[in-house]
A and B are shown apart, each in its own frame.
Chain A
């Protein structure tokens, strides 16, 4: 075991897989010589060469399109999109090509591409460096969408993603790259060193795609969340004294419905939380699903904590971000609701 932050864990996942499989290549803006703006690919080009860790032109559609062609020709590309906010020029290549290729060719062609992209706010990135577009991708049939919330899961899930023959969009909540964040911007930053999930094996292991995790057990309320808000939910639950069971969804699609249903049937109350805008957010699917599976066990309507339905404003980051105050309020309302 080693101490790793999420960046080191992601880098280690690349290293482990590239070492085992010469067909794995990395491409993206600034990923090569420089090692990525968040340093997730630092050192990989020196170790594996310029033919396997490739600096790309600033053309997200080109990066994803070329990755598909490489995947069709026997490579296993990992494409980094520098910010999730930049992914839209490549959206058609994801929706119409990457997600559909296996289906339309009845399995004759497929492209085992992993798209990694940092997402989420809390880093003073303004509206073009803070978005959480996971629901847009989870809506597309033919790709899998995931978002880890800690170094251990990040490495294990990234290895699973790269080794999978299915295309996967891998969202990395960048606010927690360097340490867990409880949603209170006034408090000093903490590192992953003091967190149990900062203990990461140095070698190969996998965390399965499609499995949620019970982060902490509880009896009074289930909080279903993912990404940065897993940590916000933990802090908020502690502050309220509510015995909350917190579930980290980890994979938006395919969704681990049994784990969600089992928890909500036990607690009878459910709060769904994500950073992304509320309307048509992934929480809507979660709420619909849980309502269907747990209707007769629910003691109150399912609640939602989410980003406001506005773009992400630069100057009002902490009024926008669904942090500790909103999570605490959400928990209280859930416990009062009938």
Chain B
């Protein structure tokens, strides 16, 4: 059937297993080279932000240019600590899944700067609508590691009472929405939340995250339209980590124009940022939040980063991409880059870093020890299965009470 010459374009990544990694397709701007326009700028005057790449940290780990947020070294040390905690936590949970002690896990290796920098730039009253790779937001906003672990264990301290896959956290207290397994659905929620914030006359903004792959979903486009029409105070983030399971970003339409440019047709400014540069991500987030708070409406931020690990514990990326591709990624590793920046400024050292990692590892170990006291997959205490009938509605209807009673009779408790 297939003709030798076809007009049908099938996107192909630049490298497959066995090939030499090739990121020549990534257009990079030198650090410090992109102007920082006033937040009141008209979208049409700042379209370059959607195609250039905002970078602060250069290859020698120096902070440069107008986007440098000039954070204090102490703040940067805090940021490094959160990113490293995110990394250490993910590593441990991955191992724990491999040991069969949780059913599933998703790590955010390589993308930690997105959650940590943005979490630091937003205010506590701002509402986050995360994807499943934003665990750093939960940590930063005060959700305890032990509570996150208990969620992954579906144990008696599980915030989701055993109803959700591991990593589908939520926290009303921390202003972080419930994670859905359906991709991109949170995008219009964030816009609606932001519209309500404006209707209520508050100055809170909403922020939401989606991967490059999920920008193909209708919800992404619905959300952009609504955000543009009502100038909703919302920050729309696309975390372009190059891979959506096995399909590279070309299958979401990334070959021709950057994802940051998706909003330009609607008049939504786009900023393409080095997603592995904590300083740059922090700076563009502050810019977008400031613009939104002043009534300037939404901003679409594309974070150019790399999915350092497998999509999930159910995935094997060696089947579809070069094994060592991350090492060749031109924007490197966000943890390493911030570390080197601090070291080069005399505010950090390899020894301090090693000590911090040890401290965080101990913290994670202690949390895991505590989490298991609330039950594991094999050993009690177990959740009461009769709770599965709660929270379907505000009040439990009669027929669910009957089903609960019968379930307990025939299936028994645990």
Among A100-108, A233-241, A270-278, A291-299, the stretch in contact with B: A100-108
A254 on interface, CB distance cutoff 8 Å = yes
B226 on interface, CB distance cutoff 8 Å = yes
A67 on interface, CB distance cutoff 8 Å = yes
Residues in chain B near residue A165, CB distance under 8 A: 394
Do B194 and A103 touch (CB < 8 A)?
no
Do B163 and A166 touch (CB < 8 A)?
no
Do B223 and A102 touch (CB < 8 A)?
no
Nearest CB in chain A: distance from B403 CB, A: 11
Which residue, A66, A69, A106, has most C-beta atoms of chain B within 10 A? A69
A75 on interface, CB distance cutoff 8 Å = yes
Among B159, B160, B196, the residue within 8 A (CB) of A74 is B196
Give a binary string over B212-225; 1 marks a CB under 8 Å from any A CB, 0 the rest: 00000011011101
Which residue, B168, B190, B219, B398, has most C-beta atoms of chain A within 10 A? B219
Among A51, A68, A106, the residue within 8 A (CB) of B192 is A68
Do A97 and B391 touch (CB < 8 A)?
no
Do A69 and B393 touch (CB < 8 A)?
no
Residues in chain B near residue A54, CB distance under 8 A: 230
Among B164, B221, B391, B397, the residue within 8 A (CB) of A107 is B391
Nearest CB in chain B: distance from A170 CB, A: 16
Q: A75-B199, A254-B397 are in contact. Are A57 and B226 (CB under 8 A)?
A: yes
A242 on interface, CB distance cutoff 8 Å = no
Do A106 and B195 touch (CB < 8 A)?
no
Among B101-109, B116-124, B181-189, B320-328, the stretch in contact with A: B181-189
Do B177 and A109 touch (CB < 8 A)?
yes
Instruction: Give the total of B residues in contact with A, Cβ under 8 Å.
Output: 47
Residues in chain B near residue A142, CB distance under 8 A: 392-393
Residues in chain A near residue B226, CB distance under 8 A: 56-57, 59, 62, 66
Nearest CB in chain B: distance from A74 CB, A: 7
Give CA–CA (A151, B193) in the complex, Å.
33
A164 on interface, CB distance cutoff 8 Å = yes
A203 on interface, CB distance cutoff 8 Å = no
Among A57, A73, A164, the residue within 8 A (CB) of B127 is A73
Do B193 and A70 touch (CB < 8 A)?
yes
Give CA–CA (A144, B399) in the complex, Å.
14
Do B391 and A93 touch (CB < 8 A)?
no
Nearest CB in chain A: distance from B219 CB, A: 6
Give CA–CA (A72, B219) in the complex, Å.
17
Do B185 and A66 touch (CB < 8 A)?
no
Give CA–CA (A101, B171) in the complex, Å.
13
Residues in chain B near residue A66, CB distance under 8 A: 188-189, 191-192, 195, 222, 226
B229 on interface, CB distance cutoff 8 Å = yes
Residues in chain A near residue B164, CB distance under 8 A: 104
Nearest CB in chain B: distance from A111 CB, A: 8
Do A92 and B192 touch (CB < 8 A)?
no
Residues in chain B near residue A68, CB distance under 8 A: 188-189, 192
Instruction: Give the contacts of A205-243 with B (CB-CB under 8 A).
Output: 210
Give CA–CA (A25, B195) in the complex, Å.
11
Do B191 and A69 touch (CB < 8 A)?
yes
Do A108 and B185 touch (CB < 8 A)?
no
Q: A57-B229, A62-B226, A103-B392 are in contact. Are A93 and B219 (CB under 8 A)?
A: yes
Q: A65-B185, A165-B394 are in contact. Are A59 and B225 (CB under 8 A)?
A: yes
Residues in chain A near residue B170, CB distance under 8 A: 104-105, 108-109
Nearest CB in chain B: distance from A171 CB, A: 19
Give CA–CA (A165, B391) in the complex, Å.
12
Among A72, A92, A97, A103, the residue within 8 A (CB) of B193 is A72
Among A74, A141, A164, A166, the residue within 8 A (CB) of B200 is A74
Give CA–CA (A101, B191) in the complex, Å.
17
Instruction: Give the contacts of B131-184 with A (CB-CB under 8 A).
Output: 159-161, 163-164, 168, 170-172, 177-178, 180, 182
Nearest CB in chain A: distance from B129 CB, A: 8
A201 on interface, CB distance cutoff 8 Å = no
Q: A59-B222, A61-B222 are in contact. Are A106 and B163 (CB under 8 A)?
A: yes
B206 on interface, CB distance cutoff 8 Å = yes
Nearest CB in chain A: distance from B223 CB, A: 7
B197 on interface, CB distance cutoff 8 Å = yes
Give CA–CA (A61, B196) in the complex, Å.
17
Residues in chain A near residue B172, CB distance under 8 A: 105, 108-109
Nearest CB in chain A: distance from B359 CB, A: 31
Give CA–CA (A255, B159) in the complex, Å.
31
Do B182 and A97 touch (CB < 8 A)?
yes
Do B199 and A69 touch (CB < 8 A)?
no
Nearest CB in chain A: distance from B165 CB, A: 10
Residues in chain A near residue B193, CB distance under 8 A: 69-70, 72-73
A320 on interface, CB distance cutoff 8 Å = no
Nearest CB in chain A: distance from B207 CB, A: 12
Which residue, B187, B191, B218, has most C-beta atoms of chain A within 10 A? B218
Do A97 and B180 touch (CB < 8 A)?
yes
- Closest A residue to B191 using CB positions: A66
Nearest CB in chain B: distance from A143 CB, A: 9
Give a binary string over A39-79; 1 marks a CB under 8 Å from any B CB, 0 the rest: 00000000000011010110101101111111111110100
Residues in chain A near residue B177, CB distance under 8 A: 72, 109
Q: A59-B222, A70-B195, A254-B398 are in contact. Are A102 and B392 (CB under 8 A)?
A: yes
Q: Could you write out 22 A-B pairs with CB less than 8 Å apart? A: A59-B221, A61-B219, A65-B185, A66-B222, A68-B188, A69-B189, A69-B190, A69-B195, A69-B196, A73-B200, A74-B196, A74-B200, A93-B219, A97-B182, A103-B163, A103-B391, A104-B163, A104-B180, A105-B172, A107-B390, A108-B171, A109-B172
User: What 5 A-B pairs are tightest by C-beta distance, nearest first?
Assistant: A69-B192, A65-B188, A62-B222, A66-B192, A73-B196
8 additional contacts (CB under 8 A) given A105-B170, A106-B160: A59-B222, A65-B223, A72-B177, A72-B193, A102-B392, A103-B392, A104-B163, A104-B180
